[in-house]
Chains A and B, each alone.
Chain A
Amino acid sequence: AQTVTQSQPEMSVQEAETVTLSCTYDTSESDYYLFWYKQPPSRQMILVIRQEAYKQQNATENRFSVNFQKAAKSFSLKISDSQLGDAAMYFCAYRSANRDDKIIFGKGTRLHILP
């Protein structure tokens, strides 16, 4: 069975600085998707960034980028120029490439932004 591990329950970063959230996963599949979701206090789960396992290039979305290390099964999220609105729970997640398969989430990292 696939598992997703986030070893940092909480992190803090100064506003405008850069922070990296860590994630490791375990799978025997070769084709899959990895995600980072943001969940603010409103509880709405928002997709931040997605990585396809077959792509070697790391995904980037504005201030958000990932470091995808397939052999090491590592998938970290870097947030540059942190803003107060980035404060939230961040979940690393895995999904098989089988169409419409379920998403498996990690336990999350709570990110605090210090003004």
Chain B
Amino acid sequence: EAGVAQSPRYKIIEKRQSVAFWCNPISGHATLYWYQQILGQGPKLLIQFQNNGVVDDSQLPKDRFSAERLKGVDSTLKIQPAKLEDSAVYLCASSPLLVSSYNEQFFGPGTRLTVL
């Protein structure tokens, strides 16, 4: 079974530029998460989708960050314009939607963003 795919693995941009990250979850997984991991900290949830609907985006800085999950499969996370403090690893995770209360989240390799 293929894992969660993310691209690119690395991205370096100037502040005020735009950037987009892509995530392809495990086939059949209904729930998709985007986490931001700043250096020296644990990941923090930015947005959670269930199929193509948003479940939780309470910690997404909506003035500059946006995310979509068209057709309930792939997802893109965009930052426009980027700030220095957006430098971080952006992790995508997915989980199946099962009857039980526990659905394991599977993580992708992340995209390391550096904003200069």
Interface of A with B (CB < 8 Å)?
4, 33, 42-47, 50, 52, 91, 93, 97-100, 102-103, 105-108
Contact = CB atoms under 8 A, between A and B. Distances in A.
A43 B110 contact: yes
Interface residues of B, number: 28
Interface of B: 31, 33, 40-45, 48, 50, 55-56, 89, 91, 93, 95, 97, 100-105, 107-110, 112
B97 A100 contact: yes
B48 A42 contact: no
A102 B33 contact: yes
Contact of B40 (A47, A93, A102, A107): A107
Nearest to B59: A102
A46 B55 CA distance: 24
B36 to A, nearest CB: 11
A43 B48 CA distance: 20
Nearest to B44: A105
B42 A97 contact: no
Contact of B42 (A42, A50, A52, A108): A108
Q: What 3 A-B pairs are tightest by C-beta distance, nearest first?
A: A105-B42, A45-B107, A102-B45
B102 A33 contact: yes
Nearest to A9: B40
A100 B103 contact: yes
B89 to A, nearest CB: 6
Contacts of B104: 47, 50
Contact of B31 (A43, A93, A100, A106): A100
